[in-house]
Amino acid sequence: MSVLTRDEVLERVRTAQRQGHPVEMPGADMRGLALVNIDLRNANLSRAILAKADLRYASLQGANLRGAVLDEADVSGADLAGADLTGANLVKAMFTDAILLHAILREAQLTRARLVGANCEGIDLFSAKLDDADLSRACIKLGDLRCADATGANFGGATLNGADAREANLSLAFFEGASFGSPLRDDAIKLRGANMEAAKMQGVDLSGFQLSGLRCKDADFTNASLRSADLSRAILIGARLNLADLTKVNLRGADLTGANLRNTILTGADLSGAKLDNVNQDQGLSDLAYGAPRASRLMLDGAIMHGASLTFAELNGANLIGANLSGANLDNAQLGRATLTRANLRRASLKKTQMSYSVLQQADLRGASLGSPEDSTVVMMRYSDLAGANMSRLNMSIIDLTGITFVGTVFRGATLAGVNLGRAKLSGADLSRAILDGAVLTEADLSGAILTDANLTNANLRKSNMRGVLSEANPSRSVCAVMRGADLRNADLTNARLAKTDLTGAMLMKAVFHETDLTGSVLNGANLRATDMRRSILVDCKKNRTKTLFARMPQVPMRERLKNVFGLRRARAS
């Protein structure tokens, strides 16, 4: 068929109007024609060729354009409400500010087409090809984008409320400033099964959305709001989540390997079983020098990360207050200066984890794996604050404990044999059943510590503060705490309760046992030279071969002396 001229087209239109029926031009070749403002309402233009045609402001409501060719055509401002463009070829076509209300574009080819500001409410784009198309500021409310290919498409500032994009390919698409509706208004976009790899989602609001299983590898969610969203099993490998708000988000089983979490808020988030290997927040220890402000950091307080994988994660300075990391794998993770107050780290793997200068107050580390010196995988905890933490039954003898604060720390049954705790702060610590044989505790503060059944054989406690330490006496046992051969020279044990303590061979020179309870204790062979034991309780003590030169022993009150004298005289008289 030959190419129609503009006059021939206009004549056909006028004839159809006079006869009162729609224009019939199926398969007509009108390529390159200037048809501005033409009235083609309800026209049959199926398979028509309109490539590079000028159809600006044309009336095409209800027109049949199935299989039509409109490559590079300019349809700006035209009204195509209800038009059928199924399978049409619209490559590089211009639909700027056009009206496409409830238009049908199923399987249409819209590669690099421009629909800027177009009104596409209720449009049907099922399986349409929209790669690199520009839909910025377009209204696509209630649109059907299922299975559409919108790779690299621009949806910036578009309205997508109530749209259905399930199984759509939205990889590399741009969504900054787009509106996705809200689950609270029941007009949220449907994205289940969509592919959003490397999508640009900066600043979007997807709070409360159902995004389970969403594929978002390398996607950019900078400054986005995902509060309370369901991202369980989502693929967020390498995603940028910096400055994003993920408060109370569900990330159970999600894969965040290599994700960027700089200044991300994950307060109350559920990351159970999530993979966070190699996550980072672009912030090393050098940025968090001693005394530096902590305002810029990852917020994971209260997060649930039971069994999560965080190997090689960069979480320096992160806020993990109250986080549940039980059973988590933190091998090789960077947690320098992190705040883990009240965190649950039970059975967590901490091999080669960097936790120097971290705050672990009241954290629970029972059953945690602290690495092994044989393969150089020991956790680093220098200068950390472990006040009130629970370290029961852990082997602490392999760790460098330099500068760590242990005020009120629970070490029940822990192994601290041979460790260097010189000048350590252990006031109020619970060392019940702890193994401290050969430990160095010179000038340490052990005031108020609990030493029930602790083993301090040959420990060095010179000049230590042991005022008010407690070893609870067990009536069924002859010895409750062991300090055999311990060095307690110049130590202060004022008001200590050390009943049934074995101090055999201990060096107690110049130690202060003022008002100390040593009931039933064993002091055989102990060196008590110049020891101050005034007002101490030594009832039932065993003191064979003790050296007491210059020692200040308990003074028997005058009344007791007179009682003893008169009692002895009465006994002799009788």
Residue 273 lies in a domain: yes
In terms of domains, do 238 and 352 share one? yes
Residue 537 lies in a domain: no
| pLDDT range class, residue 566, cuts 50, 70, 90 | very low
Q: Residue 445: beta bridge partners?
A: 425, 465
475: exposed, middle or buried (Cβ count in 10 Å: 0-12, 13-18, 19+): exposed
Residues with Cβ < 8 Å from 36, sequence gap 6 or more? 54, 55, 56, 57, 58
Residue 244 lies in a domain: yes
In terms of domains, do 289 and 246 share one? yes
CA–CA separation, 221 and 249 (whole Å): 14
Residue 311 lies in a domain: yes
Q: What share of the chain in percent tops pLDDT 90?
A: 76
Residue 531 lies in a domain: no
Q: Residue 34: beta bridge partners?
A: 54
CA–CA separation, 428 and 449 (whole Å): 4
| pLDDT range class, residue 295, cuts 50, 70, 90 | very low
In terms of domains, do 336 and 362 share one? yes
CA–CA separation, 333 and 354 (whole Å): 6
In terms of domains, do 223 and 345 share one? yes
What mean pLDDT do residues 262-279 have? 89
SS3 571: helix
In terms of domains, do 185 and 333 share one? no
Lowest mean pLDDT among 18-27, 493-502, 545-554: 545-554
Residue 535 lies in a domain: no
Name the nearest CA neighbour of 270 among 250, 291, 294: 250
β-bridge pairing 481-482 and 501-502 = parallel
In terms of domains, do 321 and 288 share one? yes
Q: What is the pLDDT of residue 48?
A: 97
| pLDDT range class, residue 322, cuts 50, 70, 90 | very high
CA–CA separation, 501 and 510 (whole Å): 19
The reported pTM is 0.77
pLDDT tens, residue by residue, 106-117: 999 999 999 999
Q: What is the pLDDT of residue 363?
A: 97
In terms of domains, do 114 and 27 share one? no
The answer to whether 54 touches 77, Cβ cutoff 8 Å, is: no
In terms of domains, do 183 and 310 share one? no
In terms of domains, do 231 and 268 share one? yes
* Structural domain boundaries, residue 20: 1-82
What mean pLDDT do residues 356-373 have? 95
In terms of domains, do 149 and 67 share one? no
Q: What share of the chain in percent tops pLDDT 70?
A: 91
Residue where a domain stops, chosen among 345, 370, 395? 370
Residue where a domain stops, chosen among 152, 180, 195? 195
In terms of domains, do 186 and 208 share one? no
Kindly state the DSSP code that residue 21 receives in the 8-state scheme: S
pLDDT tens, residue by residue, 41-76: 999 999 999 999 999 999 999 999 999 999 999 999
Q: What is the pLDDT of residue 151?
A: 98
Residue 567 lies in a domain: no
Residue where a domain stops, chosen among 165, 195, 225? 195
Residue 474 lies in a domain: no
CB atoms within 10 A of CB 68: 28
CATH of the domain at 11: 2.160.20.80
In terms of domains, do 122 and 271 share one? no
pLDDT tens, residue by residue, 441-472: 999 999 999 999 999 999 999 999 999 999 88
Total domains present in the chain: 3
